[in-house]
Protein backbone atom coordinates (compact mmCIF):
# COMPACT_ATOMS: atom_id res chain seq x y z
CA UNK A 1 0.00 0.00 0.00
CA UNK A 2 1.25 3.50 -0.81
CA UNK A 3 2.49 5.61 2.07
CA UNK A 4 2.07 9.31 2.84
CA UNK A 5 3.23 11.58 5.68
CA UNK A 6 -0.13 12.43 7.23
CA UNK A 7 -3.54 10.96 6.53
CA UNK A 8 -6.57 12.81 7.87
CA UNK A 9 -9.46 10.36 8.02
CA UNK A 10 -13.18 11.09 7.80
CA UNK A 11 -12.96 14.84 7.44
CA UNK A 12 -16.03 16.92 6.80
CA UNK A 13 -15.23 19.47 4.09
CA UNK A 14 -17.05 22.68 3.34
CA UNK A 15 -19.60 22.27 0.60
CA UNK A 16 -19.16 18.47 0.39
CA UNK A 17 -21.69 15.87 1.37
CA UNK A 18 -20.24 12.84 3.17
CA UNK A 19 -16.75 12.41 4.60
CA UNK A 20 -13.36 12.44 2.88
CA UNK A 21 -9.80 11.42 3.65
CA UNK A 22 -6.95 13.85 2.99
CA UNK A 23 -3.44 12.63 2.15
CA UNK A 24 -0.41 14.84 2.75
CA UNK A 25 3.02 14.16 1.32
CA UNK A 26 6.15 16.37 1.17
CA UNK A 27 4.25 19.43 2.32
CA UNK A 28 1.47 19.11 -0.26
CA UNK A 29 -2.08 17.81 -0.33
CA UNK A 30 -1.79 14.80 -2.62
CA UNK A 31 -5.28 13.28 -2.51
CA UNK A 32 -8.78 14.02 -1.25
CA UNK A 33 -11.34 11.22 -1.55
CA UNK A 34 -13.46 8.96 0.63
CA UNK A 35 -11.67 5.95 2.18
CA UNK A 36 -8.20 6.36 0.62
CA UNK A 37 -6.25 3.09 0.55
CA UNK A 38 -3.03 4.52 2.04
CA UNK A 39 -0.85 4.07 5.06
CA UNK A 40 0.78 7.03 6.77
CA UNK A 41 3.40 8.08 9.26
CA UNK A 42 0.61 9.82 11.21
CA UNK A 43 -3.10 9.16 11.03
CA UNK A 44 -5.47 11.80 12.35
CA UNK A 45 -9.02 10.70 12.98
CA UNK A 46 -11.18 13.73 12.18
CA UNK A 47 -14.23 11.64 12.92
CA UNK A 48 -16.68 13.84 11.03
CA UNK A 49 -15.28 17.15 12.26
CA UNK A 50 -14.78 20.10 9.92
CA UNK A 51 -11.39 20.37 8.19
CA UNK A 52 -10.55 23.54 6.24
CA UNK A 53 -7.57 25.50 5.01
CA UNK A 54 -5.80 27.35 7.84
CA UNK A 55 -6.49 31.00 8.73
CA UNK A 56 -4.48 34.09 7.85
CA UNK A 57 -4.24 37.51 9.48
CA UNK A 58 -3.37 40.12 6.85
CA UNK A 59 -3.02 42.99 9.33
CA UNK A 60 -1.31 42.90 12.73
CA UNK A 61 0.81 45.54 14.44
CA UNK A 62 3.11 42.89 15.84
CA UNK A 63 5.74 45.25 17.23
CA UNK A 64 3.11 46.84 19.50
CA UNK A 65 1.51 43.74 21.03
CA UNK A 66 1.14 43.88 24.81
CA UNK A 67 2.32 47.48 25.07
CA UNK A 68 -0.97 48.55 26.66
CA UNK A 69 0.36 47.91 30.15
CA UNK A 70 3.28 50.21 29.45
CA UNK A 71 0.96 53.22 29.16
CA UNK A 72 -0.33 55.59 31.79
CA UNK A 73 -3.95 55.09 32.81
CA UNK A 74 -5.30 58.24 31.26
CA UNK A 75 -3.65 57.40 27.96
CA UNK A 76 -5.38 54.02 27.90
CA UNK A 77 -8.71 55.71 27.24
CA UNK A 78 -7.57 56.87 23.82
CA UNK A 79 -8.72 53.95 21.76
CA UNK A 80 -9.22 54.38 18.07
CA UNK A 81 -12.34 56.36 17.27
CA UNK A 82 -14.35 57.55 14.35
CA UNK A 83 -12.89 61.02 14.40
CA UNK A 84 -9.62 62.28 13.06
CA UNK A 85 -8.72 63.64 16.54
CA UNK A 86 -9.25 60.28 18.23
CA UNK A 87 -7.29 58.39 15.58
CA UNK A 88 -4.42 60.85 15.87
CA UNK A 89 -4.55 60.69 19.68
CA UNK A 90 -4.10 56.90 19.61
CA UNK A 91 -1.14 57.23 17.26
CA UNK A 92 0.35 59.87 19.57
CA UNK A 93 -0.07 57.73 22.72
CA UNK A 94 1.38 54.68 20.98
CA UNK A 95 4.24 56.81 19.80
CA UNK A 96 5.33 57.68 23.36
CA UNK A 97 5.99 54.01 24.12
CA UNK A 98 8.30 53.87 21.14
CA UNK A 99 10.94 55.93 22.87
CA UNK A 100 11.47 52.83 25.00
CA UNK A 101 11.51 50.46 22.03
CA UNK A 102 14.12 47.71 22.36
CA UNK A 103 14.46 44.61 20.23
CA UNK A 104 14.78 42.31 23.28
CA UNK A 105 11.35 42.90 24.84
CA UNK A 106 9.58 43.27 21.50
CA UNK A 107 10.85 39.80 20.52
CA UNK A 108 9.30 38.32 23.67
CA UNK A 109 5.95 40.00 23.14
CA UNK A 110 5.83 39.13 19.46
CA UNK A 111 6.76 35.49 20.14
CA UNK A 112 3.82 35.19 22.50
CA UNK A 113 1.43 36.63 19.91
CA UNK A 114 2.71 34.39 17.10
CA UNK A 115 2.51 31.29 19.30
CA UNK A 116 -1.14 32.21 20.02
CA UNK A 117 -1.72 32.49 16.28
CA UNK A 118 -0.34 28.96 15.79
CA UNK A 119 -2.66 27.63 18.52
CA UNK A 120 -5.64 29.07 16.66
CA UNK A 121 -4.50 27.76 13.28
CA UNK A 122 -3.66 31.26 12.04
CA UNK A 123 -0.55 30.39 10.04
CA UNK A 124 0.14 33.43 7.86
CA UNK A 125 0.50 36.91 9.32
CA UNK A 126 1.29 40.22 7.65
CA UNK A 127 3.05 41.91 10.55
CA UNK A 128 3.74 45.64 10.76
CA UNK A 129 6.92 46.99 12.31
CA UNK A 130 7.04 50.73 12.96
CA UNK A 131 9.95 52.38 11.20
CA UNK A 132 10.46 55.98 12.31
CA UNK A 133 12.72 58.24 14.33
CA UNK A 134 11.40 56.98 17.68
CA UNK A 135 11.04 53.27 16.96
CA UNK A 136 14.22 53.33 14.89
CA UNK A 137 14.71 49.76 13.56
CA UNK A 138 14.16 48.04 16.93
CA UNK A 139 10.68 46.72 16.08
CA UNK A 140 11.78 45.69 12.61
CA UNK A 141 14.81 43.77 13.89
CA UNK A 142 12.63 42.04 16.49
CA UNK A 143 10.04 40.94 13.95
CA UNK A 144 12.69 39.67 11.53
CA UNK A 145 14.01 37.51 14.35
CA UNK A 146 10.59 36.15 15.26
CA UNK A 147 9.87 35.53 11.57
CA UNK A 148 12.94 33.29 11.39
CA UNK A 149 12.08 31.49 14.64
CA UNK A 150 8.62 30.49 13.42
CA UNK A 151 9.54 29.66 9.84
CA UNK A 152 7.65 26.55 8.74
CA UNK A 153 5.07 26.93 11.53
CA UNK A 154 3.68 30.46 11.19
CA UNK A 155 4.84 32.44 8.17
CA UNK A 156 5.34 36.06 9.18
CA UNK A 157 5.61 38.70 6.45
CA UNK A 158 7.35 41.70 7.96
CA UNK A 159 6.09 45.09 6.76
CA UNK A 160 8.35 48.14 7.06
CA UNK A 161 5.77 50.66 8.26
CA UNK A 162 6.39 54.43 8.47
CA UNK A 163 3.75 54.95 11.21
CA UNK A 164 4.42 58.66 11.71
CA UNK A 165 4.45 59.57 8.02
CA UNK A 166 7.27 60.04 5.54
CA UNK A 167 7.15 63.72 4.60
CA UNK A 168 6.20 64.73 8.16
CA UNK A 169 9.21 62.89 9.61
CA UNK A 170 12.60 63.73 8.15
CA UNK A 171 14.91 60.72 8.09
CA UNK A 172 12.13 58.16 7.50
CA UNK A 173 13.01 57.64 3.85
CA UNK A 174 16.49 56.45 4.81
CA UNK A 175 15.15 54.20 7.58
CA UNK A 176 12.61 52.63 5.21
CA UNK A 177 15.31 51.88 2.67
CA UNK A 178 17.51 50.35 5.38
CA UNK A 179 14.56 48.23 6.56
CA UNK A 180 14.18 46.80 3.05
CA UNK A 181 17.90 46.08 2.86
CA UNK A 182 17.68 44.23 6.18
CA UNK A 183 15.05 41.91 4.72
CA UNK A 184 11.56 43.35 5.23
CA UNK A 185 9.06 41.48 3.05
CA UNK A 186 6.56 44.23 2.30
CA UNK A 187 6.62 48.03 1.90
CA UNK A 188 4.11 49.70 4.25
CA UNK A 189 2.59 53.17 4.17
CA UNK A 190 0.11 55.49 5.88
CA UNK A 191 -0.39 58.43 3.50
CA UNK A 192 -3.59 59.75 5.07
CA UNK A 193 -1.70 61.16 8.05
CA UNK A 194 0.45 63.51 5.98
CA UNK A 195 -0.52 67.19 6.25
CA UNK A 196 -1.59 67.78 2.63
CA UNK A 197 -2.98 65.79 -0.28
CA UNK A 198 0.18 66.58 -2.20
CA UNK A 199 2.32 65.13 0.61
CA UNK A 200 0.06 62.03 0.72
CA UNK A 201 0.59 61.52 -3.02
CA UNK A 202 4.37 61.84 -2.60
CA UNK A 203 4.26 59.36 0.29
CA UNK A 204 2.48 56.83 -1.93
CA UNK A 205 4.86 57.43 -4.79
CA UNK A 206 7.94 56.95 -2.55
CA UNK A 207 6.57 53.61 -1.27
CA UNK A 208 5.91 52.32 -4.78
CA UNK A 209 9.43 53.36 -5.86
CA UNK A 210 10.82 51.29 -2.99
CA UNK A 211 8.52 48.34 -3.76
CA UNK A 212 9.61 48.32 -7.39
CA UNK A 213 13.27 48.60 -6.48
CA UNK A 214 13.09 45.64 -4.06
CA UNK A 215 10.34 43.76 -5.95
CA UNK A 216 7.96 43.67 -2.97
CA UNK A 217 4.22 43.93 -2.32
CA UNK A 218 2.73 47.11 -0.86
CA UNK A 219 0.40 47.38 2.17
CA UNK A 220 -0.98 50.76 3.25
CA UNK A 221 -3.24 52.01 6.03
CA UNK A 222 -5.63 54.36 4.26
CA UNK A 223 -8.28 56.91 5.25
CA UNK A 224 -8.54 55.57 8.78
CA UNK A 225 -11.13 58.06 10.10
CA UNK A 226 -14.71 59.07 9.46
CA UNK A 227 -13.96 61.93 7.10
CA UNK A 228 -15.27 61.55 3.53
CA UNK A 229 -12.65 64.06 2.43
CA UNK A 230 -9.96 61.42 2.97
CA UNK A 231 -9.38 59.83 -0.43
CA UNK A 232 -5.91 58.35 -0.40
CA UNK A 233 -7.37 54.95 -1.39
CA UNK A 234 -8.11 56.35 -4.83
CA UNK A 235 -4.61 57.82 -5.20
CA UNK A 236 -3.17 54.46 -4.07
CA UNK A 237 -5.28 52.54 -6.59
CA UNK A 238 -4.38 54.86 -9.47
CA UNK A 239 -0.68 54.54 -8.62
CA UNK A 240 -0.90 50.72 -8.39
CA UNK A 241 -2.55 50.58 -11.82
CA UNK A 242 -0.10 53.05 -13.38
CA UNK A 243 2.84 50.96 -12.18
CA UNK A 244 1.19 47.65 -13.13
CA UNK A 245 1.58 46.45 -9.53
CA UNK A 246 -1.51 44.34 -10.17
CA UNK A 247 -2.46 41.96 -7.37
CA UNK A 248 0.44 43.15 -5.26
CA UNK A 249 -1.31 45.76 -3.15
CA UNK A 250 -3.40 45.60 -0.01
CA UNK A 251 -5.41 48.54 1.36
CA UNK A 252 -6.09 48.51 5.11
CA UNK A 253 -9.00 50.12 7.01
CA UNK A 254 -10.42 52.58 4.44
CA UNK A 255 -13.05 53.66 7.00
CA UNK A 256 -13.78 56.95 5.21
CA UNK A 257 -15.37 54.79 2.50
CA UNK A 258 -18.45 54.31 4.67
CA UNK A 259 -19.16 58.03 4.25
CA UNK A 260 -18.39 58.43 0.55
CA UNK A 261 -21.24 59.46 -1.74
CA UNK A 262 -22.50 56.39 -3.63
CA UNK A 263 -21.54 57.54 -7.17
CA UNK A 264 -17.96 58.18 -6.00
CA UNK A 265 -17.85 54.80 -4.24
CA UNK A 266 -18.91 53.02 -7.42
CA UNK A 267 -16.32 54.75 -9.54
CA UNK A 268 -13.70 53.89 -6.90
CA UNK A 269 -14.69 50.21 -6.90
CA UNK A 270 -14.02 50.14 -10.65
CA UNK A 271 -10.51 51.49 -10.01
CA UNK A 272 -9.91 48.90 -7.27
CA UNK A 273 -10.93 46.05 -9.57
CA UNK A 274 -8.73 47.32 -12.40
CA UNK A 275 -5.62 47.16 -10.18
CA UNK A 276 -6.79 43.99 -8.36
CA UNK A 277 -6.45 45.68 -4.97
CA UNK A 278 -7.51 43.74 -1.87
CA UNK A 279 -9.08 45.42 1.13
CA UNK A 280 -8.68 44.34 4.76
CA UNK A 281 -11.16 45.57 7.34
CA UNK A 282 -10.59 45.12 11.08
CA UNK A 283 -13.88 44.85 12.95
CA UNK A 284 -12.30 45.21 16.41
CA UNK A 285 -10.86 48.65 15.92
CA UNK A 286 -14.10 50.18 14.56
CA UNK A 287 -16.50 51.86 14.76
CA UNK A 288 -16.57 52.62 11.03
CA UNK A 289 -15.73 50.00 8.44
CA UNK A 290 -15.00 49.72 4.77
CA UNK A 291 -18.20 48.88 2.85
CA UNK A 292 -17.63 45.13 3.13
CA UNK A 293 -20.95 43.97 1.66
CA UNK A 294 -20.84 46.38 -1.30
CA UNK A 295 -17.24 45.41 -2.07
CA UNK A 296 -18.05 41.70 -1.89
CA UNK A 297 -21.05 42.16 -4.19
CA UNK A 298 -18.76 43.82 -6.74
CA UNK A 299 -16.17 40.99 -6.39
CA UNK A 300 -13.42 43.02 -4.75
CA UNK A 301 -11.19 40.73 -2.70
CA UNK A 302 -12.12 41.66 0.88
CA UNK A 303 -10.74 40.08 4.02
CA UNK A 304 -10.65 40.61 7.78
CA UNK A 305 -7.72 41.30 10.10
CA UNK A 306 -6.93 41.40 13.80
CA UNK A 307 -5.01 44.72 13.65
CA UNK A 308 -4.00 45.01 17.30
CA UNK A 309 -3.41 42.89 20.39
CA UNK A 310 -3.46 44.84 23.62
CA UNK A 311 -1.99 48.22 22.65
CA UNK A 312 -3.06 51.88 22.52
CA UNK A 313 -5.63 51.08 19.86
CA UNK A 314 -7.34 47.99 21.26
CA UNK A 315 -7.18 46.22 24.64
CA UNK A 316 -8.05 42.60 23.71
CA UNK A 317 -7.16 40.25 20.85
CA UNK A 318 -5.45 36.86 20.66
CA UNK A 319 -4.87 36.21 16.97
CA UNK A 320 -7.94 34.00 16.78
CA UNK A 321 -9.45 34.71 13.37
CA UNK A 322 -12.71 32.89 14.19
CA UNK A 323 -13.18 35.40 16.98
CA UNK A 324 -12.68 38.16 14.41
CA UNK A 325 -15.37 36.54 12.23
CA UNK A 326 -17.70 36.30 15.24
CA UNK A 327 -17.37 40.02 15.88
CA UNK A 328 -17.64 40.97 12.20
CA UNK A 329 -20.81 38.90 11.93
CA UNK A 330 -22.43 41.13 14.58
CA UNK A 331 -21.05 44.48 13.46
CA UNK A 332 -21.84 43.94 9.80
CA UNK A 333 -25.09 42.13 10.62
CA UNK A 334 -24.06 39.20 8.45
CA UNK A 335 -25.81 36.32 10.18
CA UNK A 336 -27.59 34.37 7.45
CA UNK A 337 -26.10 30.95 6.84
CA UNK A 338 -24.54 31.95 3.48
CA UNK A 339 -23.18 35.17 5.00
CA UNK A 340 -21.46 33.24 7.80
CA UNK A 341 -19.90 30.98 5.16
CA UNK A 342 -18.77 34.09 3.29
CA UNK A 343 -17.20 35.53 6.45
CA UNK A 344 -15.26 32.30 6.89
CA UNK A 345 -13.76 32.86 3.43
CA UNK A 346 -12.65 36.34 4.51
CA UNK A 347 -10.19 34.88 7.04
CA UNK A 348 -9.06 31.93 4.89
CA UNK A 349 -9.05 32.03 1.08
CA UNK A 350 -9.54 35.80 0.68
CA UNK A 351 -7.04 36.65 3.41
CA UNK A 352 -4.52 34.36 1.70
CA UNK A 353 -5.07 36.01 -1.66
CA UNK A 354 -4.66 39.47 -0.10
CA UNK A 355 -1.15 38.60 1.08
CA UNK A 356 -0.28 36.41 -1.90
CA UNK A 357 -0.37 33.10 -0.07
CA UNK A 358 -2.49 30.46 -1.83
CA UNK A 359 -4.72 28.98 0.87
CA UNK A 360 -7.00 26.33 -0.52
CA UNK A 361 -7.89 22.88 0.63
CA UNK A 362 -7.31 21.20 -2.73
CA UNK A 363 -5.06 18.58 -4.30
CA UNK A 364 -1.73 20.15 -5.22
CA UNK A 365 -1.98 22.97 -2.65
CA UNK A 366 0.47 23.39 0.22
CA UNK A 367 -0.86 21.52 3.26
CA UNK A 368 -1.88 24.31 5.65
CA UNK A 369 -5.03 23.21 7.44
CA UNK A 370 -7.02 22.99 10.64
CA UNK A 371 -9.02 20.11 12.04
CA UNK A 372 -11.68 21.93 14.03
CA UNK A 373 -13.54 20.58 17.03
CA UNK A 374 -16.89 21.41 15.42
CA UNK A 375 -18.76 19.88 12.51
CA UNK A 376 -19.73 22.95 10.50
CA UNK A 377 -18.89 26.60 9.99
CA UNK A 378 -21.77 27.95 12.07
CA UNK A 379 -20.67 25.91 15.10
CA UNK A 380 -17.02 26.82 14.49
CA UNK A 381 -17.88 30.53 14.55
CA UNK A 382 -20.16 30.12 17.57
CA UNK A 383 -17.44 28.56 19.74
CA UNK A 384 -14.38 30.13 18.06
CA UNK A 385 -12.34 27.61 20.01
CA UNK A 386 -8.86 26.20 19.40
CA UNK A 387 -8.63 23.66 16.57
CA UNK A 388 -8.02 20.04 17.60
CA UNK A 389 -5.07 19.81 15.16
CA UNK A 390 -3.12 22.31 13.11
CA UNK A 391 -1.03 21.33 10.06
CA UNK A 392 1.50 23.77 8.60
CA UNK A 393 3.66 22.99 5.57
CA UNK A 394 2.50 19.38 5.77
CA UNK A 395 3.60 18.97 9.39
CA UNK A 396 1.63 18.74 12.61
CA UNK A 397 2.14 21.82 14.77
CA UNK A 398 3.15 21.01 18.34
CA UNK A 399 0.26 22.74 20.11
CA UNK A 400 1.67 21.95 23.55
CA UNK A 401 4.85 23.83 22.74
CA UNK A 402 2.83 26.72 21.31
CA UNK A 403 0.75 26.93 24.51
CA UNK A 404 3.97 27.20 26.49
CA UNK A 405 5.42 29.89 24.22
CA UNK A 406 2.12 31.76 24.46
CA UNK A 407 2.38 31.71 28.24
CA UNK A 408 -0.73 29.56 28.67
CA UNK A 409 -0.92 26.61 30.99
CA UNK A 410 -1.17 23.26 29.24
CA UNK A 411 -4.47 21.43 29.49
Ligand X SMILES: Nc1ccnc(=O)[nH]1
Q: Which residues bind ligand X (CB under 6 A)?
A: 61, 80, 91, 163, 221, 285, 307-308, 313
Nearest approach in angstroms of CB 77 to ligand X is 16
Beta carbon of residue 247, minimum distance to ligand X (angstroms, whole number): 24
Rounded least distance, CB 185 to ligand X, Å: 18
Q: Which is nearer to ligand X, 71 or 396 (CB)?
A: 71
d(CA 369, CA 122): 9
User: Of 156, 68, 157, 58, which Cα lies nearest the Cα of 111?
Assistant: 156
Strand partners, 314: 311
CB of 24 to ligand X, least distance (A): 36
* 231 secondary structure, DSSP code: -
Least distance from C-beta 361 to ligand X, angstroms?
31
**Facing residues of 222 across strands?**
253
Which CB, 62 or 361, lies closer to ligand X? 62
Q: How far is the CB of 306 from ligand X (least distance, A)?
A: 10
Cβ proximity to ligand X, 91 vs 402, nearer residue: 91
Q: Are 140 and 183 in contact (CB under 8 A)?
A: no
Q: Tell me whether residue 206 or residue 313 sits nearer to ligand X (CB atom).
A: 313
How many whole angstroms separate alpha carbon 277 and alpha carbon 354?
8
Q: Starting from the edge strand earliest in sequence, which strands make up the sheet with 389-392, in order?
A: 51-53, 369-371, 389-392, 395-396
Give the residue with the Cβ less far from ligand X, 61 or 353: 61
Of 223 and 308, which has the nearer Cβ to ligand X?
308
Q: Give the whole-angstrom CA distance, residue 411 versus residue 396.
A: 18
Q: CB-wise, 101 or 313, nearer to ligand X?
A: 313
Torsions phi, psi for 123 (to 5 deg): -105, 0
Contact 371, 389 (CB under 8 A): yes
Residue closest to ligand X when measured from CB atoms: 313
Radius of gyration of the chain (CA): 21
Distance CA 177, CA 292 (A): 34
Instruction: Point out which residues pair with 56 in neighbouring strands.
Output: 124
SS3 16: coil
Q: Is the Cβ of residue 79 or residue 344 nearer to ligand X in the bound state? A: 79
**Shortest distance, CB of residue 192 to ligand X, whole angstroms?**
9
Q: CA–CA separation, 383 vs 318, rounded Å?
A: 15
Strand-pairing partners, residue 367, are none
**Dist CA 181 CA 102 (whole Å):** 20
C-beta of 347: minimal distance to ligand X in Å?
A: 18
Amino acid sequence: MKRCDILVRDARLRGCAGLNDIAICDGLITAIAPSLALTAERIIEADGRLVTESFANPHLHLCKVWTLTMMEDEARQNYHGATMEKAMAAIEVASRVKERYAESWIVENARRAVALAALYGNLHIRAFADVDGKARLEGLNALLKVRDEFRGIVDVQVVAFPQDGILREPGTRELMREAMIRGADVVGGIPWIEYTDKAAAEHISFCFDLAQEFDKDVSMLLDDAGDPGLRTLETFAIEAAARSWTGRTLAHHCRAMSQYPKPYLHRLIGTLLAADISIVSDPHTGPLHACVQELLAEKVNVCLGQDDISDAYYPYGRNNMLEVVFLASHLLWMMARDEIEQLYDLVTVNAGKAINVPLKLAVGSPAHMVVLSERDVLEAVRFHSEPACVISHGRLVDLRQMRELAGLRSV
